[in-house]
Structures are given as structure tokens and as C-alpha cells.
Structure 1
Amino acid sequence: MATSFERLGMDVEGIFPYLSMVEKIGVATSHVLSGYGIARNSESLFRGMRARSARSARVAAAARRSGAAKILHTGTLDLPLCKSDGADHFLYCDQTWDLSLRYRVDRSSLTSKACAEFDEAERRCYAQMRHIFTFGDYVRDNLIAHYGVEPERVTAVGSGMGQIDPYLGPKDYGNGFLLFVAKHLFEAKGGYLVLEAFRQARLRRPDLKLVVVWDGRDESLPRRYPEVQFRSRLRWGVLTSLYRRAALLVQPMLNDPWGQVYLEALASRTPVLGLNRNGLPEITHHGAQGFLVDEPDADALAGAILEAMSDPSRLALMGLIGQRYVQRHYSWDKAARKMAAVMADFERPFDPVTSNPTLNKESDR
């Protein structure tokens, strides 16, 4: 994304609001003492007020040093709870806390207090943004409906497809080759669900083959699933080749907000199969170039795999439609141009109190 902005003639400087180990220990202690529960990952840990304040303070300090007039955040965890640096803040996001909470695998580890306070923190942060850009329309809709952000302050701009080049060569959709890709967060991306569904589907279609690209952390999996080929630490060229050879990407991600792998597969003319949630319905144009399963159930997923693989000509057509769709709608340059056009319209300093009706009502009390 930074390169795309630079191609537009913009000066780009990165700000990385890292916390020291001592600060992280303090944040973790505060998280527990605040009654938020036990954080299973750093993403949940940094949603508390103490972590947000520390990270946003680092961003503000860096902005003052550089004299930056506009700051584009690419995540919500370093957003200011209230502005103090004189810069205009913009956000580019693929999800909200409210959307995330619906399917989080660590939901049971968070207390009701944590869920409510994290939601309110996001609401306060969104009020400080001059404008918010989203990957998809479904995130834009949630910002408006749940967080009360004015529609004119949110624009869906899409995303890019990474390094992958569209594949125009021959493909064999009858080869029985299924692909799953999770370089991290294996459980959250549906890895265990895929393995069980594949085992069931293979009882009826012994010619099916599954390649799992993963981080190799659960060393028991290759022993438990000897019929699956596990690959890790792949070079980009090797992964690209797998996308091109696969007849279907089976990626039932439990809570991935968007899914870069979906775009990479479709660019390779490989249809996708996943859960009917988050960004996938939008990416597949509501099933036009993929298969949507309503629930994270191994039986349902196995049935969908068998249905998809029963008709190679249908897969070929889906792959062609999907490739054309993502080429037309998703690129970092297109997203950057849309954001740059919006940001160029703002030259006056933004006052969230006078510009936000919700804050106006609160300040009048």
C-alpha cells in the first residue's frame, strides 16, 4: 500500500508503535486486574485502555516529530481515544470489534466487561477519525449501523491481491486437488475443520488429494492425517504453483475478516469454498465464484467439497468468472487512489467534537 501511495507522488513515512517487554508485562497485568479475563493472544491483550493509550501516544509523538498532517492507521489498536497531536487521523480496516466478536475462537476467555469496554473504546476511537476506509461493504455497514459513524465518513475501497500474478495457463479441474493455506492461526483459519471434512469426503472420493500449507506447530497432525500432504516454509514461487494446480481452495476460516488467500486463489482461476460469513460472500459475489457453507460443520463441509468436485466444468467457469472479478475490483493501486482522493479533500483541521453529532450531544449534557 505504501508503494501505491508513493506512485501517486505522496511522501510516506512508517510509524511502528511497538511496546517494550516491560510495557507488555504491565499491559498483561492490567488486563487481568481490570477484569478482562485471560488474553489468549496479543491482539486481545492490546484492546484494553492502557495498551491503546500507550500505542496511540507513540503515534502522536512520532507525528509531532515528523510534522505529519495526515496519519493513516492500518489497524484499530493504536487509534487515539482523543486527539492531541493536531493531525488528521484516517483508518483503513478490514473488521470491527463487533464483527470480530461474533465468531472469535477466544470469545469464552473474555469477560462481559471486556467485551463491552473494548466495544466502547472502538466507538470513541472511530469518533476521532476524519474518515474511515474499509476493505468491504459489510464492514462499512457495521460501522454505520453499530457504531453510529456517519455514512459520509466511511468509504469501502477494497484491497489488493498481494504479489500474485493472474494465471492464464491450462488447469485440470478434474484432478481432485484441494488446497488449504494457513501460515499462522491454524485453528482460526479452519485447519482442523478442513482435515476432518477431507477425511469424510475421501471415504466417498478416494481420488481426492489435500495439500495443507501451515506453520508446522502441531507436530502430531502429519501422523494423525497420513493421507494429507503437509507443507511449511514454502517459497512464494512454490505456493503460487500450488494455487495454480489446485482445483479448489477449501478455506473455512472461522473469523478471518477478509482473506487474502481467497483473492490469491481466484487470481489463479481456483474457485474457493468457505463459510458464509465476514468478507467471503462479498469476495465471491455471493457464491458466483465459490461455495458458501452456512455453519462450521465437518459433515456440511464434506458435502460441499463433494458437490464442488463433482462438476469440473462448473469449477472451470467459476474460476474464470472469479479471476475476472478480482482483477476488476481489487488492487492496491486502485484502493490507494480512492483513499488519496478522499484525503486530499480535507485541508481544515478536524475537530471531532464539532464534527460528530454523537459527541455534540454528550458535550451538551
Structure 2
Amino acid sequence: MDGGMISAGAPLPVAGLLPETPMRIAIVTDAWLPQTNGVVSTLIALKRELELVGHDVLMVTPEQFTTIPCPTYHEIRLALVPGFEVERILTRAKPDSIHIVTEGPLGIAARRFCRRHGLPFTTSFHTKFPDYIEARFGIPPSWTYELLRRFHAPAASVMVATESIRQELAAHGFTQLSRWTRGVDLSQFRPLATKPATDWPRPIFTYVGRVAVEKNLPAFLDLDLPGTKLIVGDGPARETLERRYPHIRFVGRQVGEDLANFYAMSDVFVFPSRTDTFGLVMLEALASGVPIAALPVPGPIDLIEDSGVGALDWDLKRAALACLDIDPDACRARALEFSWATSAQQFLSNLHRLG
């Protein structure tokens, strides 16, 4: 495997406990339904896989609390003063292991609970908030990285999705870093025997994901490409971008078979983001037989570099056009190397028992 990724058959590292040990796992996250993003998709798949092999999973999510809208992301709800309730839930649940997913109000409350009671816990790094905050507010990333380093410093293990993100965080002083790869639903996302008929000119260059400033979408939308550009997803920047780019096809948030069909009808998946830690949508595209054009940054580097299933180039137009010559079967074969079962096993291997 390239880029340090772990294949479905690769041995898994053993950390604080054995993957086959049945236990009750508390997973605390500020990111949860109805949000649609890679973190939520990962957690849904993780919960399913853990329960399939006999573990009891307790999700501590904003659904259980009074919430307020997140500034600049009103569709995201943040728990309001959750400390007492988080302590009550975790005390009554008596979990064997506690994992903190996010650095939001629930994550902070769970971290405080564990520190107060001397309990080991693990965390994971899903979102490059320093880059997001710089894009929105101009705050230097080094300031935010220092705050995040302090948040994660007491964790017994800090799980990251790729080797390049591990190296990046290590350079910022993060320690106890371990790998937790990702998977893809190969039954939902799959190639079609023939591309569906459409009135849209081909080739179809597609982006799937949140429509937000940190996704760097103008880098794709400004490209002079033949055919059609398609944006699948919603977010705070959608209305502005639709006005700015009236010739682009915006189809909004899609789920289930509708989402799978938009992937399968595409000729190239364009991923302009500079800030994602992995990019699950890239795996979904590959599973659909669609090559990926992206910038040579963490996430795309780990998934695509030297694999022959995409093109990485600071010239995103050149990368997109190069993808037109890539074999869809090779893309599907690359996706077959990833499974949610393997992802869940690796997550388990990184956990630590309480006490």
C-alpha cells in the first residue's frame, strides 16, 4: 500500500487491549446526525462494525442535550453547558473505554471528567480546525494548533487517519499518535455497467461534500474545463457560489442511491480541499469507478500517490484532464483495499481500558 495506508488484510497494531475483547465503549462526539460529513459517516460505520462483533457502544452526542447553533455553521448544533450531564451519563454507563472524537463542548466535558477521575481516554483528530479558522477569521494556525495540542496531550492515544497527518501533527508537538484508517461501503458505491444517459455535456467533473469556504471550491469552479461541472452537497457557501457561478450544476445534498448515482455518472472526481484529514468522499468516488483529481496535500497524497487511480497536481486543471485516461476498474480495485471492518479493528487496537 502507498502512503502508509493499511489494507484489509494487513496486521493491526495492538495497544491498550485486544480487539476481540467484548466491552462497553463510550464514544463522545459533537459531530453527529443530522450533520452530513466524513466524521459522522465514520462514526456511523464504526458503531455498526463494533456492534456486529459484540461490543456495546454508547454514543454521547448533541441529541441528548440542549443545543445552540454553531457560529457561522448554524446547521451544526453545540451542546449548551453539558458538563454535569456528561458526567452523569458516563458515571451511570460504567464504560470499559472512553473515546473522545471532537474538541467541542462535549469533548471538553468528557476530557474534564476523565482527568478529574484519573481515567485513561483516547481521542482522534478529524478536522484541521487551524486551517478552517485561518480561512474564516485570519487567525494564525500555530495559535490554534497549540490549543489543540493541549487538548489532546493527556490522551493515551491520538488516532489519525493517515501517515501524512501523523507527521504533520508530530511536527506541531502532538504525541501518542496512532493510525486509524477509514473504509467505504462497497455495496452502496459501485460502478454502473454503463454511464447513465444525461443531457449534460460530458465529461462530467464532480465534487461531493460540504459547500463551505474551507473546501477551496473556487479552485475547481474557476477551471476552464470541457463538459460539465457538478457540485453535490450543501453548506453555508452554496448560495453565494450559485450566484457567482450560474453555469455550474448545483444539485444540493443527496443521500442513498441518489448520491451513489451522481458518483457513478461522473467521469472525474475533483477534490480541491487543502484541509481535509482524509476525505471519505474520495473513497466513495473510487468505489464508484471514478478517478480523483486533487492537490498534492495530506489526504489525497495518502490515498492516491503512485496508485494510478488519480492525478495530484498544483495545477488542478492538468490533474482533472489527466484523469480522463484512467481505467475505472483500477479505481474500484483501489477502493476494495479498504473496509469498515478493518477500520473498526484498528480503532479497537488503539483503545485503552479504564482502570
Task: For 1:60 and 1:276, locate their aligned partners in 2 and report how far apart those are by CA, in whole Å.
Answer: 43
State whether residues 133 and 154 of structure 1, in contact with CA within 8 Å, keep that contact through their aligned partners in structure 2: yes
Q: Any residues of structure 2 matched to 1:332-351 within 5 Å, and which?
A: 332-343=340-351, 346-347=352-353, 349=355
Map Cα deviations across residues 35-94 of structure 1 (whole Å, 9 max, x no partner).
xxxx75589998xxxx99x55665344211212231112223314267013433112333
Stretches of structure 2 lacking an aligned partner (at least 5 in a row): 1-45
Matched residue, 1:355: none
* One-letter amino acid of the counterpart of residue 215, structure 1: D
Higher relative contact order (CA 8 A, sep 6+): 2
Task: Call closer, same or farther: CA 1:108–1:60 in 2, change over 3 Å.
Answer: same
Asked if residue 238 in structure 1 is aligned to residue 258 in structure 2, the reply is yes
Q: Any residues of structure 2 matched to 1:102-141 within 5 Å, and which?
A: 103-104=131-132, 106-107=134-135, 109-111=137-139, 116=143, 118-141=144-167
Matched residue, 1:65: 92
Asked if residue 291 in structure 1 is aligned to residue 319 in structure 2, the reply is no
* One-letter amino acid of the counterpart of residue 331, structure 1: S
Please, what TM-score do these two structures have when normalized by structure 1?
0.69
State whether residues 214 and 275 of structure 2, in contact with CA within 8 Å, keep that contact through their aligned partners in structure 1: yes
Matched residue, 2:56: 11
Task: Call closer, same or farther: CA 1:90–1:194 in 2, change over 3 Å.
Answer: same
Matched residue, 1:306: 321
State whether residues 69 and 86 of structure 1, in contact with CA within 8 Å, keep that contact through their aligned partners in structure 2: no
Task: Call closer, same or farther: CA 1:250–1:41 in 2, change over 3 Å.
Answer: same
Task: Call closer, same or farther: CA 1:163–1:105 in 2, change over 3 Å.
Answer: farther
Matched residue, 1:170: 193
Larger radius of gyration: 1
Task: For 1:253 and 1:159, locate their aligned partners in 2 and report how far apart those are by CA, in whole Å.
Answer: 18
Asked if residue 190 in structure 1 is aligned to residue 209 in structure 2, the reply is no
Map Cα deviations across residues 276-300 of structure 1 (whole Å, 9 max, x no partner).
1121110113563111122xxxxx3
* One-letter amino acid of the counterpart of residue 315, structure 1: I
Task: For 2:52 and 2:102, locate their aligned partners in 1 and report how far apart those are by CA, in whole Å.
Answer: 23
State whether residues 40 and 109 of structure 1, in contact with CA within 8 Å, keep that contact through their aligned partners in structure 2: no
Matched residue, 1:362: none
Task: Call closer, same or farther: CA 1:331–1:242 in 2, change over 3 Å.
Answer: same
Higher helix share: 1
Task: For 1:43 and 1:190, locate their aligned partners in 2 and report how far apart those are by CA, in whole Å.
Answer: 20
Task: Call closer, same or farther: CA 1:16–1:265 in 2, change over 3 Å.
Answer: same
Which SS does the other structure have where 1:83 is aligned?
helix
Matched residue, 2:331: 322
Task: For 1:111 and 1:306, locate their aligned partners in 2 and report how far apart those are by CA, in whole Å.
Answer: 35
Shift of 1:339: 2.3
State whether residues 97 and 354 of structure 2, in contact with CA within 8 Å, keep that contact through their aligned partners in structure 1: no
Shift of 1:347: 4.5
State whether residues 178 and 250 of structure 1, in contact with CA within 8 Å, keep that contact through their aligned partners in structure 2: yes
Matched residue, 1:35: none
State whether residues 64 and 85 of structure 1, in contact with CA within 8 Å, keep that contact through their aligned partners in structure 2: no
Which SS does the other structure have where 2:60 is aligned?
coil
Stretches of structure 1 lacking an aligned partner (at least 5 in a row): 29-38, 203-207, 295-299, 350-365
Q: Any residues of structure 2 matched to 1:38-77 within 5 Å, and which?
A: 40=72, 58-77=85-104
Map Cα deviations across residues 130-169 of structure 1 (whole Å, 9 max, x no partner).
22222112222234332241xxx43212012257535254
Task: For 2:164 and 2:84, locate their aligned partners in 1 and report how far apart those are by CA, in whole Å.
Answer: 30
State whether residues 181 and 213 of structure 1, in contact with CA within 8 Å, keep that contact through their aligned partners in structure 2: yes
Matched residue, 2:170: 144
State whether residues 16 and 59 of structure 1, in contact with CA within 8 Å, keep that contact through their aligned partners in structure 2: no
Task: Call closer, same or farther: CA 1:19–1:100 in 2, change over 3 Å.
Answer: same
The one of 207, 215, 225 equivalent to 1:201 is 225
Matched residue, 1:157: 180
Asked if residue 90 in structure 1 is aligned to residue 90 in structure 2, the reply is no
State whether residues 188 and 257 of structure 2, in contact with CA within 8 Å, keep that contact through their aligned partners in structure 1: no
Paired-residue identity, %: 20
Which SS does the other structure have where 1:273 is aligned?
strand
The one of 275, 295, 309 equivalent to 1:275 is 295
Moved over 6 A (4+): 42-46
* One-letter amino acid of the counterpart of residue 348, structure 2: A
State whether residues 73 and 92 of structure 1, in contact with CA within 8 Å, keep that contact through their aligned partners in structure 2: yes
Asked if residue 214 in structure 1 is aligned to residue 230 in structure 2, the reply is no
Matched residue, 2:4: none
* One-letter amino acid of the counterpart of residue 192, structure 1: P
